[in-house]
Amino acid sequence: MIYSDLLAHVHARLAKEWGVPADPAADKTFGASVPDWPAFPDSAAALAYLKQHYKLVILSNVDRTSFAGSNKRLGVEFDAIYTAQDIGSYKPDLRNFHYMLEKLAARGITKDKILHTAQSLFHDHGPAKLVGLTSCWIDRRHAAAGWGATMPPPANATYEWRFTSLQAMADAHKAEAGG
């Protein structure tokens, strides 16, 4: 099921659970809302900086249409975009990571050249470790308790670097590079 359909389904289930009258139009509107979700304020500038030094690849749980809307807010051209719709499964399924690794290997990008950078310890860092990737945690919830909308992370959800924003990661690179 593509992400926009999944969101619509979840919206309907939550409305039922909460005793809200069924509204298929509202369900569909919510399902199609991803392109309207704001990007984190630091993302566009940080990605623009990082693009000057690295290839940028997306491995996303959303569908292609939803990501295209989000990408407009980011304003950067990604070198590759792999969505759950392309792969047929959602992270943390290892199939997503194997798919990405196979596609990147076909472009000559080996696992040792990849830094998997993400917020979700559950959806990203746990499986990234299982497939042997180096990773960087963008800990956007550093000032909040709990795991937000994600499941608690598995024990193997480790990472090599941690920053509280993507901009902090870009700033660290800039400082390391002497500029």
Q: What are phi and psi of 136, to 5 degrees?
A: -130, 125
Q: Which token pair is 136?
A: 């960087």
Range of weakest confidence among 56-65, 104-113, 152-161 = 152-161
Q: What pLDDT, on a 0 to 100 scale, did the predictor assign at position 77?
A: 97
* CB count in 10 Å sphere of residue 138: 25
E strand intervals along the chain: 57-60, 80-83, 115-118, 134-138, 161-163
**SS in 3 state form for 131-146?**
CCCEEEEECCCCCCCC
Cβ density class 78-100: b for 16+ within 10 Å, e for less: eeebbbbbebeebbbbeebbebb
* CATH number belonging to domain 40-176: 3.40.50.1000
Q: Is the pLDDT of residue 178 over 90?
A: no
Give the pLDDT confidence score for residue 13 in this predicted structure.
Answer: 96
Residue 37's pLDDT is what? 94
pLDDT digits (tens, 9 = 90+) for 140-163: 999 999 888 888 898 889 999 999
Distances in Å between the Cα of 100 and the Cα atoms of 23, 34, 84, 140, 147 are 37, 22, 11, 24, 26
Segments making up each domain of the chain, as ranges: 1-33, 40-176
Reported confidence tier of residue 50, pLDDT bands at 50, 70, 90: very high
Which pLDDT belongs to residue 155?
A: 86
pLDDT band at 44 (very low <50, low <70, confident <90, very high): very high
What mean pLDDT is predicted for residues 73-87?
Answer: 97
Spatial separation of the C-alpha atoms in residues 90 and 12, rounded to whole Å: 20
Is residue 75 helix, strand or coil? coil
